[in-house]
């Protein structure tokens, strides 16, 4: 593979169109391979780690551009952190970068989940990961808080956006559907910009929301398995917990392919492995159809993300250039951070269970803010400390 720098899609030179930083295909691939191998904690943690690496350390993206890509990722169905990785790949490396970033981020987790699936099918139980999660989760809280602090400074540009952020956080904690929250904040900011300028709107955001339902046969085959997970990748908004509701309704209640116990185990595997939570699909595919099933379900659930980002990616810079459409995106960005904060609050309540976990969370936050410690190393240290502490307690 060539190591020549591949530029962004909107320039004829080999430059990153955002900040003139040259990003080679090799750098892009290595970064997302490492991220997919070490990024525990779910979408909020993945986004926080990407902000730390891409904005603060490598400076591949400006914070404003990062926020725009995050907002765009939240407006389309599918796994938001994976779509953010794919968006970044497109911006830094064109269509080749789009494919490479997405595949490199997804592949390590998919392979790990496939291996766990093989052990599960053979032995009938999951490997013990309790100690690792005990240490990783509080570190993730510190990483996410640091990212939220930096992103909020950039996103909250006006007093209106400040008010919107508070309202959005309350609605997110209250359980409002993520898509409704994003649209509500976007249109509120858009209406304010229209009122202020007293002008007709320019080009409004042209994101297409995938809502088509794909019919599938009730019998289990590789084709029906692919279509079921393709449908989910095309219509599911929100976190892995939203995916859980779709999986239970379709695979347990409607088709009877899985039991509730198997589904809970599948979701647990998605939580205890790094990378996208949607690799839960890989585990289910292996349980239902071995290696072929794992490949089919993984491709099915992630394929819409690649297609939707390829379609919406070129629109993001155009939206930002329009005053009214840019205001819509500002509102969406604030709502995206509110959703991230709400998830962090829920995760924090479950993760900070004693003094050691609270100390690890504070240490991770201070390490990032004061000493700029690499977030990947913090996560790995947390995993090691958690395993040691759990072993000591026992």
Task: List beta partners, residue 24.
Answer: 5
Instruction: Look at 7-16, 139-148, 246-255, 278-287 and tell me which has the smallest mean pLDDT.
Output: 7-16
Distance (Å, whole) CA 192 – CA 190? 5
Burial 196-217 (b: 16+ CB within 10 A, else e): eeeeebeeebebeebeeeeebe
Spatial CA neighbour of 150 closest among 30, 256, 67, 35: 67
Query: What is the model's pTM?
Result: 0.73
Distance (Å, whole) CA 22 – CA 153? 26
Digit-coded pLDDT (tens) for 355-392: 999 999 999 899 988 888 877 788 788 888 988 988 88
Q: What is the DSSP letter of 8?
A: -
- 30's CB contacts (< 8 A; 6+ apart) are none
Can you list the positions of beta strands (E) in the chain?
A: none
Digit-coded pLDDT (tens) for 138-189: 887 888 788 888 888 888 989 999 999 999 999 988 888 777 888 899 899 9
Digit-coded pLDDT (tens) for 66-110: 999 999 988 888 888 999 999 999 999 999 999 999 999 999 999
pLDDT of residue 271: 67
Spatial CA neighbour of 173 closest among 346, 342, 345: 342
């Amino acid at each position: 593979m060539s190591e020549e720098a591949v530029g962004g899609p909107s320039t004829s030179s080999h430059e990153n169109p955002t900040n003139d930083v040259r990003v080679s295909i090799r750098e892009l691939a290595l970064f997302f391979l490492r991220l997919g191998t070490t990024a525990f904690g779910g979408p909020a943690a993945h986004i926080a780690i990407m902000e730390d690496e891409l904005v603060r350390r490598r400076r591949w993206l400006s914070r404003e551009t990062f926020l725009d890509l995050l907002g765009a990722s939240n407006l389309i169905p599918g796994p938001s952190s994976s779509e953010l990785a794919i968006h970044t790949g497109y911006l830094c490396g064109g269509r080749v970068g789009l494919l490479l970033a997405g595949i490199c981020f997804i592949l390590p987790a998919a392979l790990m989940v496939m291996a766990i699936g093989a052990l599960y099918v053979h032995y009938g139980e999951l490997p013990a990961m309790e100690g690792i999660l005990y240490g990783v989760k509080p570190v993730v809280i510190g990483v996410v808080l640091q990212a939220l602090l930096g992103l909020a400074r950039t996103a909250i540009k006006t007093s209106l956006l400040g008010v919107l952020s508070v309202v959005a956080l309350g609605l997110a904690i209250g359980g409002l559907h993520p898509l409704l929250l994003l649209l509500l904040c976007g249109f509120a900011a858009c209406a304010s910009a229209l009122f202020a300028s007293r002008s007709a709107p320019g080009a409004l955001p042209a994101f297409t929301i995938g809502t088509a339902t794909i019919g599938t046969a009730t019998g289990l085959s590789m084709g029906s398995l692919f279509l079921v997970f393709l449908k989910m990748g095309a219509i599911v908004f929100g976190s892995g917990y939203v995916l859980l509701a779709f999986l239970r309704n379709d695979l347990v209640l409607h088709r009877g392919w899985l039991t509730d116990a198997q589904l809970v185990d599948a979701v647990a595997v998605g939580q205890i492995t790094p990378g996208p939570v949607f690799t839960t699909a890989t585990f289910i595919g292996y349980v239902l159809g071995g290696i072929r099933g794992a490949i089919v379900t993984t491709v099915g659930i992630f394929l819409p993300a690649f297609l939707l980002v390829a379609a919406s990616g070129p629109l993001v810079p155009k939206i930002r250039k329009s005053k009214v459409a840019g205001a819509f995106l500002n509102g969406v960005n604030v709502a995206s951070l509110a959703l991230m904060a709400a998830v962090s609050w829920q995760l924090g309540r479950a993760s900070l269970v004693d003094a050691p976990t609270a100390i690890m969370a504070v240490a991770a936050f201070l390490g990032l803010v004061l000493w700029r410690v690499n977030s990947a190393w913090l996560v790995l240290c947390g995993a090691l400390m958690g395993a040691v502490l759990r072993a000591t307690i026992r």
